[in-house]
Structure 1
Amino acid sequence: MAVALVASGCTQLVDGRPVAGKVVTGGAVDTGFIRGTDGGPIDQLAATAITDVDEFWQETFPATFGEKWQPIEGGIYSVDTADPAAKPPPCTEKASDVEGNAFYCPSADAIAWDRAALLPVLKDRFGDAAVVIVLAHEMGHAVQRRMGITPEAERRDPDKYPTILTEAMADCFAGAFIKWVNDGRSEHLDIGTDTLDSALGALITFRDPVGTSAEDSSAHGNAFDRVSAFQDGYLKDAKFCAAMTVQNRPFTQQAFTSLDDRERGGNLPFDEMLDAIAPDLNNYYKALVGAKGKTWTEPRATTVREEPTCSGDQGPVAFCPADKSVEVDVAEDLPELHARIGDYATGVLLASRYGLAARSAAGLKVEGTEAAEGALCLAGAYTREVFTRQQGFGLSPGDLDEAVQVLLAYDFAARDASGKNAVDPGFKRVDVFRNGVFTGVTACGF
């Protein structure tokens, strides 16, 4: 059974920043080991990725598992799905079965990808690094087979090896590889943080449809879970990835719990979102500030019909230190982000500006790098609170994905009260935010 990265028809493209720079390669890699290759630029990039991922595991597998790495035995396949006469790779009956996919076939110990309709699309939309991440993910499944996580093992004990866990582990392994590359240890690849930000858009694209249950037998994870797993591999190591279990790996993916929420796609209209979240933010931060023995005064929320200018350029929502108010653009940028990304894009921006208000009330700095990171982390801590609620204002499926999207594409939620010192790049913004989500206020220096 093939372990596909994404099933045809499940891909959801999202808006973001323009494509980042190309991966720098040092010398051409022969594509001759790829079965079905045309020797073109796409397969040259893929060959470079496969070559260096294999080198990574030759070095990392013995250090992680105490055994020698066994290279892929069943072949590497490039499939031209636009050619009706193309030969199918293992685990498929015809070449068109590969359309829109890259996958690892455990029964044959083989990797295959769609050269016509997947890798070129990833390269054009997200840059070369997206192709590298996808293939590193598939090699991660080959690592799992060598760990003993096989389809037979998964069938024997599906509760131990649910699909969402094995996919997270493969994302994590891909992150560990990319860190190895960025540490300058790769012979052919050089992936900068700007390129990495764009490439993470590919993981968002490959998220499950909003409302998919984490218990679904084919669940791959939402955008937040997938990016989190990748970042864990990048910031930790392959040993951490290999130690993932259902007991120690939290997943945020949720199914819809009401028909109304499903019909809305998990999104409230803009005006309703503002009416619902403002008093909730006030109550949350009032409790936090009160716990520090300080007095919280509810910020006066002022609506404006253009980007707020009360204190520097903070984007479509701003904390105004002079009068401790919050200005909200209700006519232009914020409603546009709300409509394009979703209601929790609005939620994250508001939560971070209220976070600055909370820092001010607690006597903490509201300008500088510490303030920018602290406010963003507090937005994550607030998200943790509403995510775990059983009643009242809470998150819908897809909200955490919307948070990841807005943080990767924009730095508004990560600016200080002067509109400066933004947390950058997007990779770091997501990491600061998720520290708040997973750890709570204690991670935020509050």
Structure 2
Amino acid sequence: MRHRSIALIVATALLAVGCTAEIPGRPRAAKVVKKEASSPTVQVRGSDNGPIDKLAATALTDIEEFWTDSFQSTFNKPWKPLTGGYFSVDTADATAKPPPCTQKAADVEGNAFYCPAADAIAWDRASLLPVLQDRFGEAAVVVVLAHEMGHAVQNRMGITPEAERREPDRYPTILTEAQADCFAGAFVRNVTDGKSPRLDINADALDKALGALITFRDPVGTSPEDEQAHGSAFDRVAAFQDGYEQGTKFCSQMTVQNRQFTQRAFTSTTDRANGGNLPFDDMLEAVTPDLDGFFKDVATKAGKTWQSPRAEASQTEPTCSGDQGPVAYCPSDKTIKIDTKEELPDLHKEFGDYATGTLIATRYAMAELAVLGKPTEGEKASAAALCLAGAYTGAVFQRQDGFGLSPGDFDEAVTVLLQFDYAARDAKGGNPVDPGFQRVARFREGVFEGAKKCGV
């Protein structure tokens, strides 16, 4: 919040479209290749024929087949396969042959990219794809390669490096990266719908794969106008979800006029100095009265009298009404009980101050549902609370003065929503919205469409 932080260094390879990052996280296995899958038809140059290149070849075979069908239906012209092909690079081998757009194999280290000049895709098989697989599952490899193919799609749309240089205001990097994420989401939807011949990605694998997408976000505080901007975690997940839900046609029509980005640069030296994070106690002191004011306004507009819930500190996880996690709405005495001793302070420290704000916002949202006479139990109530928390976040984001969001706050919300279901539990601690992918989607609805979208 303004008055926080997960900093990841992201760099883009020169002369190529790609991303590089240190990959944090815990190992998470998630198989995505179907047992009965037919052999891939894509040929990988420089391959060692090991498991990671076989996975890449399988994924790219299905991605190419998807675009053979989808490009025709989206753009009314046939898909042209990549003329430059696919390159696997062993960056641990100093004698390895470099792929197009690079001078040496080491230039690919930690990277996967599309090279427009050669119409080719290359990846580091030593320190990128296997690390993604270990940390986020095989689906993460699929998502990264589908994103790079998205850049090949753009090249066939006429969004070339020359066009980007000629019209930077029309094709800023943050937009072209979002569009590639969108195209990746459209492909993954094809997989989860069971239409992919060789791949199968379930909800759990998808949630883990989005962890990889978040890893490749820009450092907190990067300006959206930066010529190398790829987007915040929230913006990248949002673009992916739009492709997943809306399809390739929607992605193809993304422009600077119709795409809203939440990424912001720091606007004060104080905010930059603390990474945009308020200390835990300061955050509680600031956010609880602000939430109270926002939800009072929502209730008043609905013709109801808002009854301000009393925010109370708890030395243990609240248990007044089922297991809602470290923050709970207690209908019996209309209080919001907050664990100020253990788990919530730990989450605050690990993810940032707006992870805390997001969880508290959903419990105030439960109080709002009660005031409006809406159900506070069941999955619809859980979804409404997520949406209302998003509506509050969107309202704060629009402010010019006073209590507001800092760069990175949206990312903290996405991270806590993906990794925990606390924000998506009802007032009895049950019926969570699952998977995390859907939790983020409901939150986003509120951010961009306001409280009316939440059914209140």
TM-score per shorter chain, which class?
A: over 0.9
Are the equivalent residues in 1 in contact too, given 2:42–2:58 (CA < 8 A)?
no
1:44-443 paired onto structure 2 within 5 Å:
44-443=54-453
Letter in 2 for 1:187: P
Are the equivalent residues in 2 in contact too, given 1:20–1:198 (CA < 8 A)?
no
SS at match of 1:190: coil
Which of 32, 51, 66 lines up with 1:23 in the alignment? Answer: 32
Are the equivalent residues in 2 in contact too, given 1:31–1:43 (CA < 8 A)?
no
Deviation at 1:3, TM superposition (A): 3.5
Are the equivalent residues in 2 in contact too, given 1:11–1:207 (CA < 8 A)?
no
Give a deviation string over 1:315-371, Cα, whole Å, max 9, x none.
000000001111000011100000000000000000000000111111111111111
User: Please, what is the CA RMSD of the aligned residues?
Assistant: 1.2
Are the equivalent residues in 1 in contact too, given 2:313–2:337 (CA < 8 A)?
yes
Are the equivalent residues in 1 in contact too, given 2:37–2:199 (CA < 8 A)?
no
The percentage of counterpart residues that share the same residue type is 64
Letter in 1 for 2:312: T
Instruction: Measure, in 1, the Cα distance between the counterparts of 2:99 and 2:29.
Output: 32
Are the equivalent residues in 2 in contact too, given 1:12–1:207 (CA < 8 A)?
no
Instruction: Measure, in 2, the Cα distance between the counterparts of 1:219 and 1:30.
Output: 34
Are the equivalent residues in 2 in contact too, given 1:351–1:379 (CA < 8 A)?
yes
Instruction: Measure, in 1, the Cα distance between the counterparts of 2:29 and 2:412.
Output: 21
Give a deviation string over 1:60-114, Cα, whole Å, max 9, x none.
0000001110001012000000000000000000000000000000000000000
Are the equivalent residues in 2 in contact too, given 1:31–1:44 (CA < 8 A)?
no
Instruction: Measure, in 1, the Cα distance between the counterparts of 2:329 and 2:139.
Output: 36
Deviation at 1:27, TM superposition (A): 2.9
Letter in 1 for 2:89: V
More relative contact order in 1 or in 2 (CA 8 Å, sep 6+)? 2
* Aligned length, in residue pairs: 442
Deviation at 1:2, TM superposition (A): 3.6
Instruction: Measure, in 2, the Cα distance between the counterparts of 1:240 and 1:203.
Output: 20
Are the equivalent residues in 1 in contact too, given 2:40–2:61 (CA < 8 A)?
no
SS at match of 1:24: coil
Shift of the 301–32 alpha-carbon distance from structure 1 to 2, 3 Å rule, reads closer
Are the equivalent residues in 1 in contact too, given 2:29–2:133 (CA < 8 A)?
no
SS at match of 1:367: coil
Letter in 1 for 2:408: G
Are the equivalent residues in 1 in contact too, given 2:17–2:151 (CA < 8 A)?
no
SS at match of 2:377: coil
Give a deviation string over 1:1-46, Cα, whole Å, max 9, x none.
6444323xx5463x58x62521132335358711100000000000
Q: Which position in structure 2 is the counterpart of 1:5?
A: 18
Letter in 2 for 1:156: R
Instruction: Measure, in 2, the Cα distance between the counterparts of 1:52 and 1:370.
Output: 36
Give a deviation string over 1:144-169, Cα, whole Å, max 9, x none.
00000000011110000000000000
Are the equivalent residues in 2 in contact too, given 1:303–1:327 (CA < 8 A)?
yes
Are the equivalent residues in 2 in contact too, given 1:213–1:255 (CA < 8 A)?
yes
Shift of the 287–343 alpha-carbon distance from structure 1 to 2, 3 Å rule, reads same
Letter in 2 for 1:22: K
Letter in 1 for 2:409: D
Letter in 2 for 1:195: A
Are the equivalent residues in 1 in contact too, given 2:317–2:339 (CA < 8 A)?
yes
Give a deviation string over 1:173-192, Cα, whole Å, max 9, x none.
00000011111111100101
SS at match of 2:19: coil
Instruction: Measure, in 1, the Cα distance between the counterparts of 2:48 and 2:339.
Output: 52
Instruction: Measure, in 2, the Cα distance between the counterparts of 1:69 and 1:50.
Output: 14
Instruction: Measure, in 2, the Cα distance between the counterparts of 1:407 and 1:292.
Output: 28
Shift of the 167–385 alpha-carbon distance from structure 1 to 2, 3 Å rule, reads same
State TM-score, norm by structure 1.
0.97
Give a deviation string over 1:350-393, Cα, whole Å, max 9, x none.
00000001111111111111111111100000000101100111
Are the equivalent residues in 1 in contact too, given 2:183–2:240 (CA < 8 A)?
yes
Structure 2: segments with no counterpart, 5+ residues: 1-13
Give a deviation string over 1:402-425, Cα, whole Å, max 9, x none.
000000000001110000010000
Instruction: Measure, in 2, the Cα distance between the counterparts of 1:319 and 1:445.
Output: 20
